[in-house]
Structure 1
Amino acid sequence: MKLRWHVADIDGRSTPVLLDGGVARPDASGALAETAPVWDADSGGFRYLALKDGVQGIWHWRDDMPLEREVVDEADITEFGPSGDGRELKYSIGATRSAIAKAESSAYRDGVLVDGSINLNQPIAGGVIEDGRRVMRRFSSPWFDNRRILWNVEATEKTLMPRDPAHRPAPSAPGQGLESRAANGDIAEIVEERSEQRLRVTRADGRVVACVAAPCRSGKLRAVAWRGNHDALLLFVKDSSERETVWLWTVGESEAKRLTVTSGALRVPGQPPRCAVGEDALYCADAQPLVPPRLVRTDFASGRTQVLAEPNRALAARIAAKAEPMTWPGGFTGYFLKPIDTNGPLPVVVHYYTCEGFLKGGSGDEIPMLPLTEHGIAVLCIDAVRAPRAAGMEGSYNLALKTIGSALDELAAQGKIDPSRVGIGGLSFGSSVALWAIRKSRRFAAATIASGQISPHYYWMNALPDRGFTSVLEEIWGLGPPEATPDRWKTVTPLWDIESLATPLLMQVPESEAQSNVELHTRLRRAGRPAEMVVFADELHIKYQPAHKRASYERNLDWYRFWLKGEEDDEPEKAEQYRRWRHYRAGQSLPVSAR
């Protein structure tokens, strides 16, 4: 996957400059690993990390100079930024490329001692593709976080003085998060006081100013950031579907000014925020349910929002759908997405997890939302709400199923959906909800999941004493060793409840999670259930290879069209697929119920 930078003037009057950003690297889950650029002090250019030709280095672009690879080291550069005064560049490296190559060669030649760092669900000799070649990864936490082999080599910090003083990096801007430190030493922080969320500013001389404006007392503050050299803060307040309402608060005033609502990309640790705070405006990578990502500027003085760059304009012009915001009791939010020229009752596919930003595929981009609407199938996307921990994970599953049922009943009563033609699918927690839903309800005519499921194999593959995994599993699911907690296993997993799984089920899973589903798939097939499993090589939790994402997307579309509408794609290469599916349908015995 190739990356590109889009450089746009803040007045939006010129054509954006496109820069080669190298090739993508997947993070621990498979999502795109992101780094923020570092601008030159005069704003005439910037530096960024790029992986090209097997080397991750610092590249430098200036408006008056060609793009160049400025810094290359014997190890890949993992982080970089300005020194405190902006006179120098600082960067970090880990193990050298030669040391990594030696470790990979040794692992392949000599074998690998199995310990808590080894993921036996992945090929030992690789498992992740970076810049056209397989690389080895190891677990880096008790859960499933993973990084390149030798990730735990102590980092080395280096500094570099730019050759041209005019090209020095700008000093770091005040951070954006639960705490933000101004250039003069003032600190703004979101704190919990007596079980309530508060925002306070601690001056450099020790004085404390508490914010009493409504956004500060909402309990939904996600982040704060100083507005340049002004004594004012940007307040980012959580809205529905991971959107954020942005407020401007002058320190000490009793009210704040509402600026805009941002698109709601998830705030993920280690990834740059989607909005940058300038001296006079807020700049955001904005998206809406039916508007693909674009760069927008919101002026602090006027509140006016201007589109600066729209790289997905052609895609936006093709969209012929309507997204209806929805809310339900208990704090649930979501969208009902349908074809713009059809009123129903329509078949519908449910996605339960996150509905932030542009509705292209939901969590992990597994549900082909807009292609479904193009084929006359609606989509119901619901943002997940978890039950109290005391209810166990099945409490969250049951809460999800109850909410999904209520939403479907409401839409059916309005004549918008056909309750006998309902599908459900998702990734990760969303896939577990989907599997629970078809196990506990007869509402669903088809289902797709994209992740491995909890099973005894899943347990034993991750239960080595030096891993720390089992304590997490016990805390979240209440699961111990299968022989020690058999009742909990029978509650959480469907392996001893195969007779309840009559809904046609398509599993499209990454190679790193496939083994956890082997028993489920085999039991379903031996019981004559309409089930299929497709495995994608060299994939992590979230599929990151474009060819795999397209194949998964297309097969899910075919699956829902077949089971919800009886439609088949007439492409000759799909003939065998439909032959199998027609065979499953002929053997299907249990009818679909509206409840």
Structure 2
Amino acid sequence: MSAFAILLAFPAVAHARCDDIIPAPTPETGAKRPITAVDLIGLRDIGDPDSASYAGPSPFAVSPDGSRVAYIINRADLATNGYCRALVVNELRAPGPPAVLDRGGELIKILDVQRGFYLPSGATQTIVPKWSPDGRALAYLRRDNGVTQVWVANADGSGTRAVSRSSIDVDVLAWSQDGARLLFASRRDGAAADAAIDREGEAGWLYDRRVSPEISARPLTPATDELDVVAVEVQSGRTMAADSVDRAALRAAVAPDLPADPVAVAADGRRAWAERAVSSPLAPARLMASGHNGETMQCPAAACAGGALSIWWDGDAVLFLRREGWDKGDTALYRWSVDARAPVTVLRTDDVLHGCVKATTALVCTRENSVTPRRVVTIDVTTGAVREIFDPNPEFAGIRLGQVVRLRWRNDLGLEAWGDLVLPPDYRAGTKLPMVVVQYHSDGFLRGGTGDDYPIYLLAERGFAVLSTERPTFFAAAFPKLKTWYDINAANQKNWGERRSLLSSVLTGVSLAVDRGFADPARVGITGLSDGASTAAFALINARTFAAAAMSTCCMEPNTTATYGGIAWADWLRGMGYPPATANNRAFWRETSLAQNAARIDTPLLLQLADNEFRLALEAFSALREQRKPVEMYVYPDEYHVKWQPVHRRAVYERNLDWFSFWLQHEEDSDPAKAAQYARWRALRSPARSTPQPRPTR
């Protein structure tokens, strides 16, 4: 029996919640107020909140006639520890607040596929609504009571209804070509696979490649590309078997099947694409196109080699959006007539353009920069003129942010890198400040670095300089013959080449801020999540630059890595050159193991970790604690690699602020609720450490 039951006959109207999901007009008061954690956590998001993520789908769906754009707005709600979500539609010819078609639903999170199994990541999934061919309705995914279902909204705002009731999440949906049917699907036999794991548990789960102990003793569910497909007749609600045409339409809607390099198909069938001369994923992909007679045309200009994000046809011309400039810090829109040698630059900016889709004579994108949160804009594809359609966060016009200075440098390998140095709003020239390094991307509006745990503007408000770094290109880019990402990762890992390159970049950026008189070299802190945490740990072992540190994930250690990571991860690491747990290869781990270097690490370290990852930190934490080093660890329940719960994000923000204020500014918050925290931290001070006594603040 199918897992789906169709409910078209009973329209389940979404309950109106989160009335401020569309902002009210903000009066201009002149004076700006300080930024707060609530401001950052409550940002209204359109698409992936991570400004550095260019690989995901666009959040925008353009109507068939090109006059409207639909998308989902998402905002964290601290009061409920949940999220406000709304399906909205903007008229492209009349900029202004969008019309709300539906409110409600829970956050839909990404399930990563790693080593053949589904792994929860905590990151937000971009839900793209689907217009019906006649433009009268929109289908979209909405999650309620822990299950993702298909909903349909009338485009004129006259109502919404649930279309599916599945026992497991619906993963993908599409309209049939004629618009008469809705097609949706879940992973093949997903309910049966989950039930089989439950039954296996009655006699004990076999500990095999399915188990990742740092997450759970329960085996992970095997990933599959096969789908159980349902077709529903929209008018009658009758279900039917999906034919080959319907299945093809659904497969085309599956975002993970998008090619690694962009492709565009014109109305007459001609193609434009990016093609690599060699098979390495790191080789630049050059722009190609089909001529009128079917011949292949190659754009020979330098601007056509590498960095392409998206490609579109516009009449006989090819439009393409490209990252370029110093360490890919700029975005440019080009127009190439296929019979011309060089493209014409339509627009170039150091702002970040995300999720661009074509609507007749314009692109619809989000646009943001270091001091401006994401907005919806259109870009004229001929003139490059930018017009704002909707600002989802107008409150930020009345919020005081720190001063931002863009710094550029090369690391010791000559690789380009850059960072945004954020200074307090009232910074006085010549003042040397305590500084915190936030990693490892600095694209777009500055929140809290990758993973959003280290609030840049809140740190600046507290009197810190903050260096938000953009990582250089991979160390392995020097080896163009590497053909797979596995080979690239192995080359990056060999002799810790990538880790050395990243540390060199961070240290060069710190030195630049110090040399220019912004930062006090004796009061520099470092932070990081994921790859950034690995760089932070490497820095604590191989440099003496940092006086305090905070990490959101931890750690790669000789015993823990091959144990709590599970069999599949241990095998994968050994294939990349890591030794087995029984090898006792101290030389291999000398430069990366916090545990093996615990006796000589004095930097105070704060760990704020997800409950499904903290076991990987136990070896390092225990070794540092045994050596009486200043270390403290917190574990957050029901969290993943990226923390998703608003109340946890606020707690992480606040504790990171307190930690760096304590160690780098010698200040304590006078809030009585934090008395025990500061008593512990004072006890962590080494008797040999000559620092001023903390003074109460705030």
TM more than 0.5? yes
In the TM superposition, 1:6-85 aligns within 5 A as: 6-18=88-100, 19-20=102-103, 22-27=105-110, 28=112, 29-74=121-166, 75-84=168-177
Q: State the match for 2:538 in structure 1.
A: 436
Give the distance between the partners of 1:547 and 1:82, measured in 2 at CA. Answer: 38
Residue of structure 2 aligned with 1:180, choices 250, 264, 280: 264
Task: Give SS of 2:444's match.
Answer: coil
Residue of structure 2 aligned with 1:408, choices 489, 493, 510: 510
Residue of structure 2 aligned with 1:163, choices 211, 227, 235: 235
1:327 to partner: Cα distance: 1.0
Residue of structure 2 aligned with 1:373, choices 457, 460, 471: 460
Give the distance between the partners of 1:91 and 1:203, measured in 2 at CA. Answer: 37
Which AA in structure 2 matches 1:157?
V
1:482 to partner: Cα distance: 4.4
User: Do structure 1's residue 248 and structure 2's residue 351 form an aligned pair?
Assistant: no
Give the 3 Å change call, closer, same or farther, for CA 463–123 of structure 1 in structure 2: closer
Give the 3 Å change call, closer, same or farther, for CA 298–588 of structure 1 in structure 2: farther
Q: State the match for 1:134 in structure 2.
A: none
Give the distance between the partners of 2:339 and 2:398, measured in 1 at CA. Answer: 45
Residue of structure 2 aligned with 1:290, choices 368, 371, 377: 371
Task: Give SS of 1:8's match.
Answer: strand
Residue of structure 2 aligned with 1:191, choices 266, 275, 280: 275
Q: Is the 8 A contact 2:438 2:469 kept in 1?
A: yes
Q: State the match for 2:17 in structure 1.
A: none
Give the 3 Å change call, closer, same or farther, for CA 43–215 of structure 1 in structure 2: farther
In the TM superposition, 1:500-519 aligns within 5 A as: 500-519=600-619
Q: State the match for 1:490 in structure 2.
A: 590
Q: Is the 8 A contact 2:435 2:467 kept in 1?
A: yes
Counting matched residue pairs gives 556
User: Do structure 1's residue 397 and structure 2's residue 499 form an aligned pair?
Assistant: yes
Q: Is the 8 A contact 1:353 1:363 kept in 2?
A: yes
User: Do structure 1's residue 383 and structure 2's residue 470 form an aligned pair?
Assistant: yes
1:316 to partner: Cα distance: 4.5
Residue of structure 2 aligned with 1:460, choices 544, 552, 563: 563
Give the 3 Å change call, closer, same or farther, for CA 80–103 of structure 1 in structure 2: same
Give the distance between the partners of 1:452 and 1:352, measured in 2 at CA. Answer: 15
Query: Structure 1 vs Structure 2: percent identity of aligned residues?
Result: 27
Give the distance between the partners of 2:140 and 2:495, measured in 1 at CA. Answer: 41
Q: State the match for 2:76 in structure 1.
A: none
1:498 to partner: Cα distance: 1.0
Q: Is the 8 A contact 2:331 2:351 kept in 1?
A: yes
- For residues 300-324 of structure 1, the C-alpha deviation after alignment (integer angstroms, 9 at most, x for no partner) is 2332111211111213431321221
1:379 to partner: Cα distance: 0.8
Q: State the match for 1:268 in structure 2.
A: none
Residue of structure 2 aligned with 1:313, choices 394, 397, 400: 394
Q: State the match for 1:580 in structure 2.
A: 680
User: Do structure 1's residue 4 and structure 2's residue 106 form an aligned pair?
Assistant: no
Q: Is the 8 A contact 1:187 1:204 kept in 2?
A: no
Q: Greater CA deviation, 57-66 or 362-371?
A: 57-66
User: Do structure 1's residue 542 and structure 2's residue 642 form an aligned pair?
Assistant: yes
Give the distance between the partners of 2:225 and 2:192, measured in 1 at CA. Answer: 10
Give the 3 Å change call, closer, same or farther, for CA 497–318 of structure 1 in structure 2: same
Give the 3 Å change call, closer, same or farther, for CA 51–390 of structure 1 in structure 2: closer
Give the distance between the partners of 2:340 and 2:463, measured in 1 at CA. Answer: 52
CA RMSD of aligned residues (A): 3.1
Q: Greater CA deviation, 107-116 or 92-101?
A: 92-101
1:151 to partner: Cα distance: 5.0
Give the distance between the partners of 1:296 and 1:107, measured in 2 at CA. Answer: 52
Q: Greater CA deviation, 480-489 or 565-574?
A: 480-489
1:67 to partner: Cα distance: 3.6
Give the distance between the partners of 1:590 and 1:518, measured in 2 at CA. Answer: 29
In the TM superposition, 1:239-388 aligns within 5 A as: 239=325, 240=327, 244-254=331-341, 255-261=343-349, 263-264=351-352, 274-329=355-410, 330-343=415-428, 344-385=431-472, 386-388=474-476
Q: Is the 8 A contact 2:527 2:533 kept in 1?
A: yes
Give the distance between the partners of 2:98 and 2:200, measured in 1 at CA. Answer: 46
Q: Greater CA deviation, 16-25 or 102-111?
A: 102-111
Which AA in structure 2 matches 1:559?
W
Which AA in structure 2 matches 1:420?
A
Give the distance between the partners of 2:294 and 2:382, measured in 1 at CA. Answer: 30
- For residues 381-421 of structure 1, the C-alpha deviation after alignment (integer angstroms, 9 at most, x for no partner) is 12123323267262222222322222222222221111111
Task: Give SS of 1:11's match.
Answer: coil
In the TM superposition, 1:79-98 aligns within 5 A as: 79-84=172-177, 88-94=181-187
Q: Is the 8 A contact 1:76 1:96 kept in 2?
A: no
Give the distance between the partners of 1:54 and 1:541, measured in 2 at CA. Answer: 20
1:574 to partner: Cα distance: 0.9
Give the distance between the partners of 1:260 and 1:10, measured in 2 at CA. Answer: 22
- For residues 162-185 of structure 1, the C-alpha deviation after alignment (integer angstroms, 9 at most, x for no partner) is 329xxxx99989988432333432
Which AA in structure 2 matches 1:457?
T
Q: Is the 8 A contact 1:241 1:354 kept in 2?
A: no
- Which consecutive residues of structure 2, in runs of 5 or more, have no partner in the other structure? 1-81, 113-120, 237-245, 477-490, 693-698
Give the 3 Å change call, closer, same or farther, for CA 581–216 of structure 1 in structure 2: same
Give the distance between the partners of 1:478 and 1:345, measured in 2 at CA. Answer: 42
1:99 to partner: Cα distance: 4.3
1:25 to partner: Cα distance: 2.4
- Which consecutive residues of structure 1, in runs of 5 or more, have no partner in the other structure? 126-136, 139-148, 266-272
1:109 to partner: Cα distance: 5.0
Task: Give SS of 2:591's match.
Answer: helix
Give the distance between the partners of 1:358 and 1:477, measured in 2 at CA. Answer: 38
- For residues 66-125 of structure 1, the C-alpha deviation after alignment (integer angstroms, 9 at most, x for no partner) is 341342043432111234565543322236786477457546655422221122112446
Which AA in structure 1 matches 2:363?
L
- For residues 132-166 of structure 1, the C-alpha deviation after alignment (integer angstroms, 9 at most, x for no partner) is xxxxx72xxxxxxxxxx4654941123334329xx
Q: Is the 8 A contact 1:211 1:251 kept in 2?
A: yes
1:550 to partner: Cα distance: 1.5
